[in-house]
Amino acid sequence: MDISILIIILSCSVLLSYGFDLISNRTKIPSVVLLLATGMVIRQVTQYFNISIPYVEVILPTLGTIGLILIVLEGGLDLELSGGKHKLIGRTFVSALLGLLLSMLVIAGILYLLLGEKFYNAMVTATPFAIISSAVAIPSVRGLDNRRREYMVYESSLSDILGLMLFNILVIPSGSGWESAFQFFKSTILIVIISVICCFVLLYLISRINHHVKYLPIISALFIVYAVGKIYHLSSRLAILVFGLFLNNTELFVRGKLNDFFKNDLFEKELEQFKKLTAESAFIIRTFFFLIFGYSTNISEFADLDAWIVSGLILLAIIGTRFITLKTTFRGNLSPLLYIAPRGLITVLLFLTIPPQYMVKGFRDGILMITVILTAFTMMIAVMSYTKPLEEEAHEELDVT
């Protein structure tokens, strides 16, 4: 392919995704659905003209991993641990953890009963479907009142993080569940120590480097930390999260003389620029990931009635368990939060990385895509039909009490 044509295609893809974001803001149609549909259309067009995109099987998980790192970093940079957020963080943490465990167990039970697979394998396969995708949820709740929007930002971010940690525990190769848990917590302590050291080093670099290129080298260093951690079976994503939380809450960790040494007068401005770069990088990676995922999907999978039945049961399990968690942790009308539980990039990536020995046999290929689309459309309908009550408009600046 001519390099000029390739540049045009890549640039048009980014502009198209940006346009989808603008459309999503106005119509509430999730941009991820539009990207997936575009990818499917591209596949049909390329098949008609006998054109094939090479190395899709390699590109998809690579983009997904990079996107996941950026999403975890972006989530950490969005979470504030100070300023009276303790009650909100506590409630959303309980909601994310309880929702994750309940939906995982219920979905695993569905797979176990329908496919007759080992329950442990069913739990591993169910875990990606139990995680709320913050990459899809956060942009979709911009039109809600502050209380619900803030609740959703924290809950979905924590769901991503806790889901990743749970998935790591389940797939760590060892002799038993207790050994897996012990190995995981041992690696967690080690990665936290490494993360804290990296945080101070990177914080120093952000505040002291005067070169006009500074943020991409820092992000590249984080990628290296992640990759090295994965090689040694450490909780690499936790290191990325710790860095994001540390950087966005330095007033809690860097005080006194440390503050004079590690921060300068321009630090807040530098932090905002770093956040913008992270958000825009994540946007680009998400764009190409969902386009290629849509391209890799066989449209014939949508004709599989069994896949629709299982996906429908998974959707019911998600909403049912979410009702329990929100009743426990959220005060007030549950609409539309009850139906905002989309599955997205993190679900797809974790599903693609399930080790073969843990994969449920007989699992239909179309279930993954159908579930992503069903949860996205359910969220879309809920957000579009939501009307902000007058009393909540008057009190939307209040925190969750």
* C-alpha triplet 329, 330, 336: angle, nearest 5°: 130
For position 400, what pLDDT does the model report? 45
For residues 341 and 156, the answer to whether their CB atoms sit within 8 Å is no
pLDDT of residue 265: 65
Instruction: Pinpoint the alpha helices (H) of 79-133.
Output: 86-115, 119-126
CA-to-CA distance for 197 and 180, rounded, in angstroms? Answer: 26
Token look-up 């998400």 returns 286
Q: How many residues does the chain have?
A: 401
Q: What are phi and psi of 10, to 5 degrees?
A: -65, -45
Terminal Cα-to-Cα distance of the chain (whole angstroms): 59
Per-residue pLDDT of the chain (401 residues; tens, 9 = 90+): 578 888 888 899 999 999 998 888 887 788 888 999 999 999 998 888 888 888 888 888 888 888 878 877 887 887 777 666 788 889 999 999 999 999 999 999 999 999 887 899 999 999 999 999 887 888 788 778 888 988 998 898 889 888 888 887 788 765 555 666 677 677 778 877 888 888 888 887 777 777 777 788 888 888 888 888 777 766 677 788 788 888 888 888 777 777 777 766 667 778 888 889 988 998 899 899 999 999 988 888 888 999 999 999 999 999 999 999 999 999 888 989 999 999 988 898 889 889 888 989 889 889 999 999 999 999 999 988 887 665 554 454 444 44
Nearest residue to 30 via CA among 391, 387, 345: 345
The predicted pLDDT at position 83 comes to 63
Residue 398: per-residue pLDDT: 46
Q: What is the pLDDT of residue 399?
A: 46
| pLDDT of the residue at 76 | 80
Cβ atoms < 10 Å from Cβ of 179: 12
Residue 82: both structure tokens together: 């100070």
Is it true that the peptide bond before 30 is cis, omega within 30 degrees of 0? no
Residue type at 106 in one-letter notation = V
What pLDDT score does 261 carry? 73
Per domain, the residue ranges of the chain are 3-390
CATH 3.40.50.300 fits 3-390, yes or no: no
| Euclidean distance between CA atoms 73 and 219, whole angstroms | 9
Q: What pLDDT score does 224 carry?
A: 87
Place of tokens 């101070």: 200
